[in-house]
Structure 1
Amino acid sequence: MHPRLRLLLIRHGESEANLREPQYIAGRSAESALTTRGEQQARRLGQRLAHMVKAATESKPIADDTSQHRPPHLHPTVFASPLKRAQQTAAIVISALPQSPSVHTVDALAEIFQGEWEDAPREQVLTPETLQALAKNPFEFHAPGGESPRDVERRASGALHTLVQQVLAHGAAPDAAPTTEASDVLVLVFTHGFVIKCLLRNILDAAPAMTARIRVDNAAVVELWLQPHHAIATDAGVLAESAHRLGDWYLVRVNDALATYDSAALNAW
Structure 2
Amino acid sequence: MALENRPSRIILVRHGESEGNVDDTVYETVPDHALSLTDRGIRQAAATGQRLRDLLDGESVMVYASPYIRSKQTIEALDLGVGLDDVRFEPRLREQDWANFQDPADVAAQKARRDEYGHFYYRFTQGESGSDVYDRVSTFLESMFRNFETHSAPRNLLIVTHGLTMRLFCMRWFHWSVEYFEALRNPANGAVVVLELQADFRYRLARPFNQWDRDYVPSARERSSWR
Equivalent runs, 1:173-252 vs 2, <5 Å: 178-179=152-153, 185-212=155-182, 213-226=184-197, 248-252=202-206
Structure 1 residues 254 and 44: alpha-carbon distance in aligned structure 2, compared to 1, 3 A threshold: farther
Which residue identity is paired with 1:251? Answer: L
Query: For 1:39 and 1:131, how far apart are their aligned partners in 2?
Result: 30
In structure 2, stretches of 5+ residues that fail to align are 211-227
Query: For 1:160 and 1:110, how far apart are their aligned partners in 2?
Result: 14
Are the aligned partners of 1:226 and 1:250 in contact in 2 as well (CA < 8 Å)?
Answer: yes
Query: For 2:94 and 2:208, how far apart are their aligned partners in 1?
Result: 20
Query: For 1:194 and 1:154, how far apart are their aligned partners in 2?
Result: 13
Q: Does 1:2 align with 2:10?
A: no
Are the aligned partners of 2:5 and 2:150 in contact in 1 as well (CA < 8 Å)?
Answer: no
1:239 match: none
Are the aligned partners of 1:30 and 1:83 in contact in 2 as well (CA < 8 Å)?
Answer: yes
Identity of aligned residues (%): 27
Match of 1:30 among 30, 33, 55: 33
In structure 1, stretches of 5+ residues that fail to align are 56-73, 172-177, 230-246, 257-269
How far apart are 1:20 and its partner, in Å? 1.9
Which residue identity is paired with 1:211? Answer: F
Structure 1 residues 227 and 2: alpha-carbon distance in aligned structure 2, compared to 1, 3 A threshold: farther
Equivalent runs, 1:42-57 vs 2, <5 Å: 42-54=45-57
How far apart are 1:159 and its partner, in Å? 0.7
2:222 match: none
Which residue identity is paired with 1:35? Answer: T
Q: TM-score, normalised by structure 2?
A: 0.76
2:150 match: 170
Which residue identity is paired with 1:253? Answer: R
Query: For 2:111 and 2:91, how far apart are their aligned partners in 1?
Result: 29
1:26-73 C-alpha deviation (Å, 9 max, x unpaired): 9x7111101111111111111221121117xxxxxxxxxxxxxxxxxx
Q: Secondary structure at the match of 1:142?
A: coil
Structure 1 residues 167 and 225: alpha-carbon distance in aligned structure 2, compared to 1, 3 A threshold: farther
How far apart are 1:255 and its partner, in Å? 6.1
1:119 match: 102
Structure 1 residues 24 and 100: alpha-carbon distance in aligned structure 2, compared to 1, 3 A threshold: closer
1:104 match: 88
Root-mean-square deviation (Å): 3.1
Query: For 2:39 and 2:60, how far apart are their aligned partners in 1?
Result: 28
Query: For 1:146 and 1:86, how far apart are their aligned partners in 2?
Result: 20
Query: For 1:45 and 1:138, how far apart are their aligned partners in 2?
Result: 28
1:147 match: 128
1:201-242 C-alpha deviation (Å, 9 max, x unpaired): 22232221333422300010111134698xxxxxxxxxxxxx
Structure 1 residues 206 and 24: alpha-carbon distance in aligned structure 2, compared to 1, 3 A threshold: farther
Q: Which has the larger radius of gyration?
A: 1
Q: TM-score, normalised by structure 1?
A: 0.65
1:104-158 C-alpha deviation (Å, 9 max, x unpaired): 1111100000126x53224x4444x984575235422111121000000110232
